[in-house]
């Protein structure tokens, strides 16, 4: 037996064990529905670059979020010298518990998740944070992902595009 075989066997065993553990975790969630306590009545605010979906209870805050989103868009497009393909969908929830009930994202969302940008449909989904500054920060962060997915080949949301090559990059 060569020296490289001594390293290969433990590596393969640890890989198999880790893969089985990951599959077990996914199997625990498979077939379960995300708990949804409330039904949401969404409205849409259309801006120059965004379609913002929101619940009526946060109408005034959505106006602030729309301005923040457009400011972030201007910064990102200028910095990256790129315009997003199509309008950017943004789904805003009134608070963290409402956000955790979303069915736009698979799986459960923890309390520490501030927002998510889907790679394939490029939807940005987030709750309003405790302050406008926090909401602004998360909007900027999620918009960076939208640009990342668009620049690496995602294309327009919902237009039959290919998977962004950014998905192959490490987080």
pTM to 2 decimal places: 0.69
Instruction: For residue 19, give both structure tokens.
Output: 């893969």
Under DSSP, the state recorded for 112 is: T
Burial class (CB in 10 A: 0-12, 13-18, 19+), 90: buried
SS3 143: helix
Q: Which helix (H) or strand (E) holds 92?
A: strand 88-93
**Per-position pLDDT tens, the chain of length 171:** 555 555 555 554 454 555 544 444 444 444 455 455 566 678 999 999 999 999 877 788 999 999 999 999 999 999 999 999 999 999 998 877 777 777 677 667 667 777 888 887 889 988 888 888 999 999 999 999 999 888 887 555 555 555 666 566 665
Bridge-based pairing state of the strands 50-55 and 42-46: antiparallel
Rounded Cα distance, 105 and 145, in Å: 15
Closest of 116, 108, 100 to residue 38, by C-alpha: 100
């Amino acid at each position: 037996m060569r020296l490289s075989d001594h390293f290969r066997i433990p590596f393969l065993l640890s890989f198999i064990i880790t893969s089985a553990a990951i599959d077990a975790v996914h199997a625990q969630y498979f077939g379960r529905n995300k708990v949804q306590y409330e039904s949401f009545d969404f409205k849409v605010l259309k801006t120059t670059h965004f379609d913002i979906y929101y619940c009526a209870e946060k109408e005034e805050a959505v106006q602030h979020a729309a301005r923040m989103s457009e400011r972030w868009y201007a910064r990102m497009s200028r910095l990256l010298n790129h315009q997003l393909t199509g309008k950017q969908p943004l789904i805003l929830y009134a608070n963290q518990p409402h956000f955790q009930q979303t069915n736009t994202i698979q799986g459960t969302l923890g309390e520490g998740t501030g927002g998510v940008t889907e790679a394939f449909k490029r939807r940005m989904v987030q709750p309003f944070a405790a302050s406008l500054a926090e909401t602004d920060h998360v909007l900027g962060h999620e918009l960076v992902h939208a640009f990342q997915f668009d620049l690496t080949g995602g294309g327009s949301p919902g237009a039959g595009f290919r998977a962004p090559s950014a998905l192959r990059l490490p987080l």
